[in-house]
Each structure stands twice: as structure tokens, then as C-alpha cells.
Amino acid sequence: MARVLLVGEIHEAGLARLRTEPGLEIVRLAEERRAEIAEALAAADAVIVRTAPLPGEAIRAAPRLQVIAKHGVGVDNIDLSAATARGIPVAVTATANATSVAEFAFAQILALAKLAAKMDAAVRAGDWAARHRLVPIELAGKTLGIVGFGRIGRRVARRALAFEMRVLVHDPYVPAEAVLAAGCEPVERLEDALAATDVVTLHCPLTAETRGLIDRQRLARLPPGAFLVNTARGGIVDEAALAEALRSGRLAGAALDVTVREPLPADDPLLAVPNLLLSPHVAGVTAESARRMALEAAENILAGLAGRLDPAVVVNGEVLR
């Protein structure tokens, strides 16, 4: 009997799919019980994981492990090199939450442009006169910079174009022809893209290359009054530099769905930063995407155990060869 370890909660549809498969034992472990992951993983043939870490030592000490299924697309919580060294494929739910994240990112862009949080706070405080002080902007005619032009970035671009925005794209791994075909403008240097945008939105993975990508110097390239939205990963942005730019008023606002520390502790300096919209890493979570991710993760487990994983969903594809 194959044992599937589930770390964290997933939609019932995914559990139901696993339960229909004969010969599977499902072991569930809450994400908060991280100290117990290594012991549980050591007896597992497969694992579905959300945001809890899968460190290298735990992967190396799991002799039966055949496949790791990420509930989502970011694999920065998984020691990919350890999995690859063991020949263990790491599969993601490649398209399940792309629309959810794109919608959320664009919703945050709209919320920043229309001063939604400030308007709400003013009305609740009985400050109706705020309508004369708070002046939103229109997105039509503004320039959106997209960093990362994968499944999510392309969906954000389509929404921006529908709002009559000019869209610049920086992604060194996407051919300029593909960007042009999407109705956008490719920009080779990130600094040039930032300098020309009214809003920048991040849709790249967290890797050694992108960690700290939006640092103090690159934030300084953004025009005064610009907005920044990050629904990718917290480590991509220098949070201290962003807080400084917001406090000084040089940037008009920012929205972070992801942060370096998650959850944010009560004493985190970000909580006191003005003009900053915070959300608890929920951009990819909707009623629809939760079901899709659970089902895709379950299918990836079954395919991995059967040795028939689709290479398109495996981030360390070399193990399949």
C-alpha cells in the first residue's frame, strides 16, 4: 500500500480523488506541526505540500519517497536540489490558480489607484469631506510594468490592456516576439522598465536570481507617485527599502500579498507603513482555484506513483530523463 502524506488542508475534491484510488493510505498533518514533517515524510511514498517547508535533510531521509506534489506553483519551500539528487520529481499545479492571482493582482492595482482603503476609512470615520481631499487616478493611459511574463503575467497583461493601459514587460526568458504578440512592449533592462512605469507588478518565482530583485536602487528608479504590487514571493522585494519609499511619500502606494515573514508577527514594521495594502498570501486562493489545485495535486500524485507524470508540470524535469 502506498502512503500519501498531506501537509496542510486541501479542497475535499482532491481528497475524494485520492480516496477513489485503491491501495492508497492518506496521512494528514497540519502545516503548523512542522517539527513532525520529517518523521512523517520518512514513511511516505508521496507528499502533497502547500507552504510548509520540505528541507533537504527530510527529503534525503525519506527512502520511499517517489513524488512531491506542490499545491500551487512556487517551490521555494522545497529543497529542489535535494529532490533532484534523489531523482524525485517535483510537480506543480501549473495553471490551477493563474487566473485567481491575475485577478487579485489587478484588483490591488485598482484599489491603489482608486484609494479604496482610504475612502472606506474616511466614510467609517464620518469624514465625508474626504471626497474633496482624496483624488484617485485613472488607469487608462497609464503604464503598467510586468516583471515576469508567464501564465500569470500574461493574464494580468490582458486585463491591463482592457483598461487601455500601456504594458511594458521585462522577462529575460520570454522572447520579444511573444511579448509583442500579446500586445505588450518588451524591455530588456529591468531598470528601464521600472523608470517608465506608473505601476509595477511582480510575477516571477523566488530564486537565487530574483531574491532581492527589487532593491533600494531599483525602487529609486520608479517615478515619484508610482505603485508597486507583489503577489509573487516576499523575498523578491527589499521590504525595508519599500517601507522607506512609502513613508517618504515618493511612492504613492504598494500592495503586498506576500512577505518575507509569513504570517507577519504583531511587531513587524510593515504593519505601521502608510499607503500599504496587506493581505495574507491569498491571491491564488479562490473557491474555484482551491478545487482545481487540489484535483491537480491529487492527479500529480497518482501520475507520479504510476511513473506517468506530464513533463510540463515537473519543475525538475531532468529527473524524468
* Catalytic machinery residues: 233, 262, 281
Same domain assignment for residues 267 and 118? yes
Same domain assignment for residues 269 and 216? yes
Same domain assignment for residues 58 and 91? yes
Q: What are phi and psi of 158, to 5 degrees?
A: -60, -40
Q: In this predicted structure, what is the pLDDT of residue 179?
A: 98
Same domain assignment for residues 14 and 30? yes
| Strands ordered across the beta sheet of 24-29 | 24-29, 2-7, 46-49, 67-70, 90-92
The tally of domains found in the chain comes to 2
Same domain assignment for residues 127 and 274? yes
Of the chain, the end-to-end C-alpha distance in Å amounts to: 26
- Report the 10 Å Cβ neighbour count for 173: 8
Q: Any idea what the Cα angle at residue 280 is, between residues 171 and 162, rounded to 5°?
A: 45
Same domain assignment for residues 88 and 104? no
Q: What are phi and psi of 277, to 5 degrees?
A: -95, 125
HEC profile of the chain: CEEEEEECCCCHHHHHHHHCCCCEEEEEECCCCHHHHHHHHCCCCEEEECCCCECHHHHHCCCCCCEEEECCCCCCCECHHHHHHCCCCEEECCCCCHHHHHHHHHHHHHHHHCCHHHHHHHHHCCCCCHHHHCCCCCCCCCEEEEECCCHHHHHHHHHHHHCCCEEEEECCCCCHHHHHHCCCEECCCHHHHHHCCCEEEECCCCCCCCCCCECHHHHHHCCCCCEEEECCCHHHECHHHHHHHHHCCCCCEEEECCCCCCCCCCCCHHHHCCCEEECCCCCCCCHHHHHHHHHHHHHHHHHHHHCCCCHHHECCHHHHC
pLDDT digits (tens, 9 = 90+) for 214-239: 999 999 999 999 999 999 999 999 99
Same domain assignment for residues 50 and 108? no
CA distance 138 to 131: 16
Same domain assignment for residues 56 and 158? no
- Domain holding 248, by residue range, is 98-278
Same domain assignment for residues 133 and 222? yes
- Give the CATH number for residue 92: 3.40.50.720
- Report the 10 Å Cβ neighbour count for 277: 17
Same domain assignment for residues 109 and 252? yes
Residues 6 or more apart from 225 whose CB is under 8 A from it?
198, 250, 251, 252
Same domain assignment for residues 43 and 119? no
Q: Is-cis flag, bond preceding 224, omega within 30?
A: no
Q: In this predicted structure, what is the pLDDT of residue 22?
A: 93
Q: In this predicted structure, what is the pLDDT of residue 34?
A: 86
pLDDT beneath 50, residues of the chain = none
Q: In this predicted structure, what is the pLDDT of residue 269?
A: 95
Do 251 and 194 contact (CB within 8 A), yes or no? Answer: no
Q: What are phi and psi of 21, to 5 degrees?
A: -90, 120
pTM greater than 0.85: yes
The residues that bridge with 267 in the sheet, in sequence order, are none
Same domain assignment for residues 126 and 205? yes
Residue 297: CA count within 13 A, CB half-sphere: 31
User: Between the CA atoms of 309, 311, 317 and 321, what dihedral angle is there, to the nearest 10 degrees?
Assistant: 80
